[in-house]
Amino acid sequence: MGCRDVHAATVLAFLSGTASVAGLLAAVLLPNWRQMRLYTFNKNEKNVTVYTGLWIKCARFDGSRDCVIYDPQWYTAVDQLDLRVLQFALPLSMATAVSALFLCLIGMCNTAFVSSVPNIKLARCLVNSAGCHLVAGLLFLLACAICLTPSIWVIFYNNYLNRKYEPVFSFDVSVFIAIASAGGLFFTSIMLFLWYCACKSSPSPFWQPLYPHAPSMHSYAAQPYSARSRLSAIEIDIPVVTHAS
């Protein structure tokens, strides 16, 4: 399959990026970033587990799925620094990844439906398929860094809370979802970079991230002058004398 076609790498990258954004959305909405398990020594009572998310907090008895205490205003009173950072980092990562998906889709459409000669209007705006994919790959890499760093920090901060207070804290499933989504974003960026590296050797300017000049000017390139055309009029009028042997 040629580079002019919708390459399988770009399609796989788009699907991987979409799945990663969906994973980030699930991690943001789920109230399962941290658990705080409270034990009781009274046999007539049940232990309580407090599930802490980025926006809500829920307390449940063991064996029950209903929240005994449900705090929908938890996002305004978060007292844990790692969760407060995640409240800003994950939506920013999602916005960056969505922008990258949009650029990736534009690049795929240009690759599939645009003619072999790039549009001069697009050339003036420095927009082409390869440029879209390169910028999308950089945005996916940035979204990965924004998501991965605070998500890993939750693990270390959880150990800090256990040392400072009591060993009742544990990180929950949302941490793994966020880290896996960050891995998907990194994989997406690598696929886009590999696609460009495989196709950049094409002689067409369509695969250059930025056009050096308008594509329509390629057909008007000046032809090299012949050796005699570079001679001046004086040189042409001077007779050449040869001696016969």
pLDDT tens track for 79-90: 888 888 999 999
With tokens 């945005």, the residue in question is 139
**pLDDT over 60 at 188, yes or no:** yes
In angstroms, the CA 5 to CA 3 distance is 5
CB 151 within 8 A of CB 179: yes
Q: Lowest mean pLDDT of 36-45, 157-166, 229-238, name the range.
A: 229-238
Is residue 38 classed exposed, middle or buried when 0-12, 13-18 and 19+ CB atoms within 10 A define those classes? exposed
Is pLDDT at 121 greater than 60 in this prediction? no
Instruction: Please give the full DSSP string across 44-55, using - where no structure is assigned.
Output: TS--EEEEE-SS
Per-residue confidence band for 133, with pLDDT thresholds at 50, 70 and 90: confident
